[in-house]
Amino acid sequence: MSGLLAGKRIVITGAARGLGRSFASAIAEAGAKVVLCDILAAELQDTAANLRLTGAEVETFCIDLASPESITQVFQEIAAGGGVDGLVNNAALATGVGGKNMMEYDIDLWDRVMTVNVRGTWLVSQAAVPLLAASGHGKIVNVASDTALWGAPNLMAYVASKGAVISMTRSMARELGEQRICVNAIAPGLTLVEATEYVPAARHQLYENGRALVGKQHPTDVDGSVIYLLSPLADFVTGQLLPINGGFVFN
């Protein structure tokens, strides 16, 4: 994938750890400057420092997706630093959001999940659109989840939020086509990162045994889909959902 994103500047939210950190590393390896955004200030700086050791060009911004003011402020600063060719909407409230069924689910938690995962994805995209339009070949990749496809139980707000991200992807693709901005979503299956260490063993077993490609899923299994959707190879691909789960569920 070396050189596929040469000369591009790509914004990745939720880049401090987990899948976002892996995407950032792969995107930098493919030749792009990476703009890392996250709410976790210390982890963000660690991730950036490690990436710089590999020779990557890295910028960092602390952002809170629950705050419209924070999003506006950060994108003003990003715009001051130059153009943007791609956005990976990866940040989400993905930990501490499960374990209760729909009869027990907490209203405050529901609201927080929707605010970050759905409203945050919309507002970040909105802030990025003028920059992406100016690039002439802008790309948005939304990170959904295959839990929205198979209806994972005891994870109600998160699953609903990812269903909304998939629907929003299609709507954005229609609205932004005129500006030649492609908008697509990926739906990873259960992937081994820090955050999924707390997922019950039974859920890990379900995925590992249920995949057509039996076994565990790692962040590097997902990276290629993001590089593809950000690259010129996908200039005529928009509004699509790509499940990356080793064949656990099909789209």
Ligand X SMILES: NC(=O)c1ccc[n+]([C@@H]2O[C@H](COP(=O)([O-])OP(=O)(O)OC[C@H]3O[C@@H](n4cnc5c(N)ncnc54)[C@H](O)[C@@H]3O)[C@@H](O)[C@H]2O)c1
Would you name the residues annotated as active-site residues?
158
| 29-48 positions binding ligand X, by CB under 6 A | 38-40
In the complex, what is the shortest distance from the CB of residue 190 to ligand X, in angstroms, rounded to a whole number?
A: 4
Residue 232 CB, shortest distance to ligand X, in Å, is 25
The full DSSP string for 108-147 is: HHHHHHHIIIIIHHHHHHHHHHHHHHHHSS-EEEEE--TH
Window contacting ligand X (CB under 6 A); options: 15-23, 123-131, 166-174, 226-234: 15-23
User: Quick check: 196 binds ligand X (CB under 6 A)?
Assistant: yes
Give the number of other Cβ atoms within 10 Å of residue 99's Cβ: 12
As measured in angstroms, the least distance from the Cβ of 204 to ligand X is 10
Contact mark string toward ligand X, 116..145, x via CB under 6 A: x--------------------------x-x
Other C-beta atoms lying within 10 Å of the C-beta of residue 72: 12
Question: Quick one: CA torsion of 128, 117, 251, 155, rounded to 10 degrees?
Answer: 170
Residue nearest to ligand X (CB): 18
**Per the structure block, which two tokens stand in for 37?**
């955004």
Position 23, amino acid = F
Question: Residues 79, 195, 206, 249: which binds ligand X (CB under 6 A)?
Answer: 195
User: Candidates 52-60, 93-101, 177-185, 235-243 — which segment interacts with ligand X by CB under 6 A?
Assistant: 93-101
Q: Which helix (H) or strand (E) holds 161?
A: helix 156-176
CA distance 45 to 47: 5
87 near ligand X, judged by CB under 6 A: no
Closest separation between CB of residue 67 and ligand X, Å?
8
CA distances for 224 relative to 136, 227, 229, 230, 239, angstroms: 23, 5, 9, 10, 18
- Nearer to ligand X among residue 134 and residue 214 (C-beta): 214
Contacting positions for ligand X (CB under 6 A): 14, 16-20, 38-40, 63-66, 90-95, 116, 143, 145, 188, 190-191, 193-196
